[in-house]
Amino acid sequence: MGKTLAEKILSTKSGAEAKAGDIVVAKVDLVFVQDTTGPLAVRQFRAAGFEHTASSLEAILFLDHAAPSPNRELSNDHMLLRDFAYQTGGMLSDVGEGICHQIVAESLAKPGDLVIGADSHTVTAGGLGAFACGMGSTDIAVALGLGRTWLRVPESVRVSLSGRFPSGVFAKDLVLYLIGQIGADGATYKALEFSGDSAGAMSISERLTVANMAVEAGAKVGLFPADEATRDYLSSQGRGDHYQPLFPDDSADYGQIIDINLAGLEPVVARPHTVDNIALARELKGTKVNQVVIGTCTNGRLDDLAVAAKILSGKKRHVQTRLLIAPASRGVLLAAMRDGYIQTLLEAGAIILPPGCGPCLGLHQGVLASGESCLSTANRNFKGRMGNPEAFVYLGSPATAAATAITGEITDPREVL
Amino acid sequence: MLTGRAFKFGDNISTDQIIPGRFAHLRSNLPELAKHAMEDAAPTFVARVKPGDFIVAGSNFGLGSSREHAPLVIKMAGVKAILARSVARIFFRNAINVGLPVLLCHTDNINDGDELEVDLKAGTIRDITSGSQLTFSKIPEIMLHILDEGGLLPYLEKYGDFKL
């Protein structure tokens, strides 16, 4: 029997023949924390008696969730993480550099790596063929010290993609549709492995969007093969030497196979308060929206801002709808300025936030009022997510978000394209 | 043997309801943070819960964030175990790592306020109020060992490394 992508990577990292269901101890390549999970990880690292991070791994501390800090408590947490980075030699990605998952994708993760981060959306790097999964602070602290972690090798679900996206339909619609089909716990403890010609035709940015939301179906990891698109992306980031091809074996054992024809998809939106509460965007016409957010680790990349700028070019946001843009990284912001997207978005009435998580998790920069609704390109719409349990969060693609910003109500982007 | 009352919750209780992101500034002040445990799912939870009580949930409890503070504040509020039909993966690991037992069982027939008696060794739950008895499923051995030591750090102190 051949191996799935998950089995292949975990076999290499554990030095054992890893099969779904096995428990393995595996060597980790990249371990990171962010500013809301990092302080506890640092305290646990010290409580465990570690002084140095394992020399076999790369350790990174990201200040991105509250960036820049809105209050003294979080400023003190930032100071703690900066000090830890200086003391241990860990890499520091300070406020303004961008979201951990975006920087991991741009600069750090390699196909075949085992990446663990103290953030649930660590799965994003699966778009590059890295086995990347989120863990809590104590697991991360111990991995930082030992250079190893334990994992149950997940059963893999194969998501086989065919066809081409119709106009106005994007990777975000695909992953929202998938979660709507299988449910918010449809892949719990499992790996989602994407395959098929249409997976191969997807850009790395699209793959990152899809992998990012694997956890919203409960998955441990969302994996794409590493192929020529991966090689070209890594080369474009100046790290072509990080490439290795990685595919599942033809005879790998997939307990479940889901076929999706992209040509049959339409723009969709996740309604409050769960990500699997999916409706067609056109069916929600008339739903008033007070705030639109374009950004986050799901959809804050250059192609996302390009789509939004194209739709908003020469238009204005609706007078009762605030439009917030949070580029995923400094690199994305610089490129969006170079290409004129920031100018276009500002002229349309947008507010440009610093690179980082922005308003996604309700800390600052766009907390909703009671009774307000937001359409966001983020990955979560849980009750209270954007800082107010009496507010309502809808999720959609950057195109749906841009169209909605113009009309002030949830709008199928095909109406304005 | 653990005894206490059931605090019943539905399906898909997220980490944002257990301990919302808007309290992130309290994460380095755990006693203050713990005052907000379960706040967006049951605003009076902390005032009503007593040491030894149980959270009884439906499916996919703890979905969402990797914040270990979620099981931590539940434990600090006095809860001795979480009974659920299923729990989200990261929450599951985090709960075990902080020494909070997670018991996977059919919770549909347990009502809010029921008196429960849990035998961790035998794997049984007795609902004293209704008179019914349940069993909970086994968790992986490594998690049992971590739980036996009271969490991942005491486990590491004892074994020095992961032992399979």
Question: Are residues A178 and A297 part of one domain?
Answer: no
| Minimum distance, in Å, between the CA of residue B16 and any CA atom of chain A | 6
CB contacts of A189 in chain B (<8 Å) are 89
Query: Which domains are present in chain B?
Result: 2-137 (3.20.19.10)
The pLDDT score that the predictor gives to residue B164 is: 86
d(CA A62, CA A99): 8
Given A206, A238, A261, the domain boundary residue is: A261
With CB atoms and an 8 Å threshold, state whether A37 touches B67: yes
Of A310, A317, A340, A282, the C-alpha closest to A417 is A310
Does pLDDT of A193 surpass 90?
A: yes
Domain assignment present for residue A185? The answer is yes
Type of residue found at A339: D
Domain assignment present for residue A2? The answer is no
The number of folded domains in chain A is: 2
Residue A196 Rama label (left phi>0; alpha psi -120 to 50; beta): left
Interface test with B, best of A25, A35, A36 (most B CBs within 10 A): A36
Backbone angles phi and psi of B7, in degrees to 5: -105, 110
The rounded mean pLDDT for chain A is 98
Domain assignment present for residue A1? The answer is no
Residue with tokens 């091809």: A245
Of B57, B45, B24, the C-alpha closest to A119 is B24
Provide the token pair at A406: 């113009």
Residue with tokens 């595919």: A247
**Torsion, Cα of A343, A348, A351, A357 (10° steps):** -80
Question: Are residues A208 and A72 part of one domain?
Answer: yes
Given A219, A234, A261, the domain boundary residue is: A261
Question: Are residues A247 and A330 part of one domain?
Answer: no
Domain assignment present for residue A71? The answer is yes
Given A209, A228, A261, the domain boundary residue is: A261
Question: Are residues A228 and A301 part of one domain?
Answer: no
**In which residue ranges of chain B is pLDDT below 70?**
none
Question: Are residues A155 and A28 part of one domain?
Answer: yes
ipTM greater than 0.90: yes
Does pLDDT of A265 surpass 90?
A: yes
Question: Are residues A274 and A252 part of one domain?
Answer: no
The pTM for the full model equals: 0.98
With CB atoms and an 8 Å threshold, state whether B66 touches A150: no
| Minimum distance, in Å, between the CA of residue B22 and any CA atom of chain A | 5
Question: Are residues A243 and A280 part of one domain?
Answer: no
d(CA A188, CA A154): 9
| Minimum distance, in Å, between the CA of residue A27 and any CA atom of chain B | 12
d(CA A102, CA A92): 15
With CB atoms and an 8 Å threshold, state whether B40 touches A25: no
- Classified as helix, coil or strand, A314 is coil
Starting at the edge strand found earlier in the chain, the sheet holding A30-34 runs A91-93, A58-62, A30-34, A114-117, A131-134
The pLDDT score that the predictor gives to residue A1 is: 85
Domain assignment present for residue A350? The answer is yes
Question: Are residues A331 and A257 part of one domain?
Answer: no
Arithmetic mean of pLDDT, A193-211:
98
How big is the A-B interface in CB pairs under 8 Å?
145
Q: Tell me the sheet residues that pair with A323.
A: A292
- Classified as helix, coil or strand, A315 is coil
Question: Domain containing A394: what range?
Answer: 270-415
Interface test with A, best of B15, B65, B92, B153 (most A CBs within 10 A): B65
With CB atoms and an 8 Å threshold, state whether B68 touches A138: yes
* B85-106: pLDDT as tens digits: 999 999 999 999 999 999 999 9
Residue with tokens 């009774």: A371
Domain assignment present for residue A395? The answer is yes
Element (H or E) spanning A210, and its range? helix A204-212
Question: Are residues A293 and A172 part of one domain?
Answer: no
* A221-250: pLDDT as tens digits: 999 999 999 999 999 999 999 999 999 999
Of the partner residues B22, B68, B157, the one whose CB lies closest to the CB of residue A137: B68
- CATH number, domain of A192, equals 3.30.499.10
Task: Decide: A105 and A125 in contact? Cβ < 8 Å.
Answer: yes
Question: Are residues A247 and A299 part of one domain?
Answer: no
Residue of A nearest to B62 (CA): A218
* B138-158: pLDDT as tens digits: 899 999 999 999 999 999 999
Count of C-beta atoms within a 10 Å radius of residue A250: 6
With CB atoms and an 8 Å threshold, state whether B64 touches A380: yes
Domain assignment present for residue A324? The answer is yes
Question: Are residues A206 and A285 part of one domain?
Answer: no
Question: Are residues A194 and A154 part of one domain?
Answer: yes
Q: Tell me the sheet residues that pair with A150.
A: A25
d(CA B34, CA A13): 38
Element (H or E) spanning A102, and its range? helix A100-103
With CB atoms and an 8 Å threshold, state whether B21 touches A77: no
Provide the token pair at A386: 């954007």
